[in-house]
Amino acid sequence: MTRARDTADLLTLAPTSQALEPDTAMPLIHNGAMMVCQRSTSASSLSSSQHYIIDRMLFVVNEGTFTVSQHSDGPTGSGFKKCLKVDCTTADASLTSDGAINIVQRQEGQNLQSMRKGFSDAKKVTWAFWVKTNKTGNYVAEIKDHDNTRTVGQVFSVDSADTWEKKVLVFPADTSTGDKFTDDQGLSMDCKIWLAAGTDYTSGTLATSWADQTNANRAVGQNVNIADNTDNEFLTTGWQLEIGEYTATTIPPFRHLPFALDLLRCQRYYIQKADGNSQFFEMGGMYSGSLANGFTIGPCRMRVAPTVSVADGSNYFSFRSDNGDRTSNTLNGAGSQHGPRIQNLYVSGLTVTQGYGGFFRTNNASAYVHFSSDL
């Protein structure tokens, strides 16, 4: 891309973020090169629940304990400089029946309409990615349809320890009448790599064609447990989903987007508005003698009205105006007044003169303001 084209793309996409994934102009996978990492470059002691570390890449775990990080590594000559790294820090060699460890990217239905899922002319899709791990053996890659609770999976093998390997997997079309992706901003599809699976997911027959979800059929063939030794690690990058059937030699080259555009696509789902001390994050005014009210406009339209997360602590936030710099312990999100593009926040517990305009600012190294509409 030329610099002029990059700028034009950004200017076009920034106002609404609605046309991000036409059939071929933009990658269906967000942040496939693992470059954007707004929350933190590393998180440790992960043993349960779901965690976003690298943007748009969800780590799901209920066995063992892990550190997940953005790591500086990639296959030589590929253009990839970053990857997602899963590092086992507390082993669990005996999985429970419902044990599950996986890496997932979730997709909105409106971005998937070119798959034609549920129609007679439904398309195959090809999912490519790079992996590197000390744990050779068989893994399962799964695509899940959340709208109709259907799944399809493929086994792939890691043949050489500690070596980058590219996997290219073709998934069949789903022509089952009516099993369409909903054409809206809701959760419609997962792309998931299993790193460990208990017998609840491995005791049946792998669904290699689209079928109604049966848990016992979801990860059959998975013979690796990434949690069985603290020496274990799993690295991945270069996630790519293409409409159509491709081989390792015919799949289109990975589209490395400018970082600013990758970031903008991720900010549809998560925005780190402020993180740390002395950061101005919105404008507003004194609504009363004790409350400053303001609004912030994000860089793009978020998927839905976001959930606001803030750090509360002694004098974490302040409102700066001609009437002085007033500190407060509490920053509040005004709930239903949030929209996908404009968010409303207010600081309470102040003593100032009503009517003054000013700026909201963080006042402590531990203060943060985050907006999330992730799937």
d(C-alpha 143, C-alpha 154), whole Å: 9
Q: Please give the pLDDT value at position 2.
A: 41
CATH code of the domain containing 179: 2.60.120.260
d(C-alpha 364, C-alpha 371), whole Å: 19
What's the one-letter identity of residue 62?
N
- Domain boundary among the residues 246, 266, 286 is at 266
Q: How far is it between the farthest Cα atoms of the chain?
A: 70
- pLDDT-wise least confident of 45-49, 63-67, 326-330, 363-367: 326-330
345 and 242, same domain (yes or no): no
Instruction: Name the 3-class secondary structure at 251.
Output: coil
224 and 324, same domain (yes or no): no
**What is the residue range of 209's domain?**
16-266
- Domain boundary among the residues 249, 266, 283 is at 266
Q: How is residue 334 written in tokens? A: 């005004």
The pLDDT tens digits for 289-344 are 777 778 888 899 999 988 888 887 788 888 787 776 777 767 776 544 667 888 77
d(C-alpha 39, C-alpha 211), whole Å: 36
Instruction: Name the 3-class secondary structure at 244.
Output: coil
98 and 71, same domain (yes or no): yes
215 and 239, same domain (yes or no): yes
Mean pLDDT (the chain, rounded): 89
188 and 308, same domain (yes or no): no
d(C-alpha 228, C-alpha 232), whole Å: 8
The pLDDT tens digits for 242-253 are 999 999 999 999
**Nearest 5°: CA angle at 296, between 290 and 299?**
165
In a domain, 342, yes or no: yes
Q: Please give the pLDDT value at position 329.
A: 62
71 and 150, same domain (yes or no): yes
Read off the pTM.
Answer: 0.89
81 and 227, same domain (yes or no): yes
d(C-alpha 39, C-alpha 275), whole Å: 9
Q: Please give the pLDDT value at position 17.
A: 36
39 and 178, same domain (yes or no): yes
178 and 75, same domain (yes or no): yes
In a domain, 283, yes or no: yes
The pLDDT tens digits for 130-139 are 999 999 999 9
In a domain, 42, yes or no: yes
Model confidence at 5, pLDDT cuts 50, 70, 90, reads very low
If you write DSSP's letter for every residue of 192-237 in order, what string do you get? EEEEEE-GGGTSS----S-EE--GGGSSTT----TTS-TT-EEEEE
63 and 185, same domain (yes or no): yes
206 and 327, same domain (yes or no): no
- Domain boundary among the residues 233, 266, 299 is at 266
In a domain, 206, yes or no: yes
pLDDT for 4 beyond 60: no
In a domain, 1, yes or no: no
In a domain, 10, yes or no: no
In a domain, 9, yes or no: no
**Contact present, 138 and 224 (Cβ < 8 Å):** yes
For CA atoms 246, 252, 253, 256, give the dihedral sign: negative
Across 111-135, average pLDDT: 97
- pLDDT-wise least confident of 25-34, 108-117, 200-209, 290-299: 290-299
d(C-alpha 336, C-alpha 358), whole Å: 23
pLDDT for 90 beyond 50: yes
In the chain, how many domains are there? 2
In a domain, 11, yes or no: no
The pLDDT tens digits for 143-191 are 999 999 999 999 999 999 999 999 999 999 999 999 999 999 999 999 9
**Nearest 5°: CA angle at 68, between 62 and 70?**
155
d(C-alpha 18, C-alpha 261), whole Å: 14
261 and 341, same domain (yes or no): no
Q: Please give the pLDDT value at position 10.
A: 42
